[in-house]
Amino acid sequence: MIKLTDSNIQGERFILNSENITHKQYLDFLADSMNRPKPESQITPLLINAAVVFEQFRSAFTASIPRINRKMLDIASEALYYSNKKIIQTLDIEFLSVKQSVDFSIPFFLNELKLTH
């Protein structure tokens, strides 16, 4: 980001990602880094529908805005792929892998969690 900010590049948009991974891979990285068990259950369409209905009832009874909705869950279950070639070619940079980033940041998160509890 600093290289991009310090450059003369203006009016451009870049994708800043190291790789395309699934939600499951990401959750597995988090579990490994936190020394927790990996998720074993897969969210089924029936569970998604139940969550949406439950949240609609909850928000109606509490007069609050729903925290989740059908669109959010549909997007979360989609496989989205992004290319970082433009930023790599423009600035000649390399990204840390998602696993490396998780392994680096989780100890800070866990330490912060200990301080707040």
The tens digit of pLDDT for each residue in 69-114 reads 888 887 777 777 889 999 999 888 889 999 999 999 999 999 998 8
Per-residue burial over 59-85, b = 16 or more CB atoms within 10 Å of its CB, e = otherwise = eeeeeeeeebeeeebeeeeeeeeeebe
**Both tokens assigned to 71:** 């669109």
- Phi/psi of residue 79, nearest 5 degrees: -95, 115
pLDDT at position 38 is: 94
CA-based nearest residue to 109, from 41, 35, 46: 35
Q: Give strand ranges (E) for 1-117.
A: none
Q: What is the pTM of this model?
A: 0.70
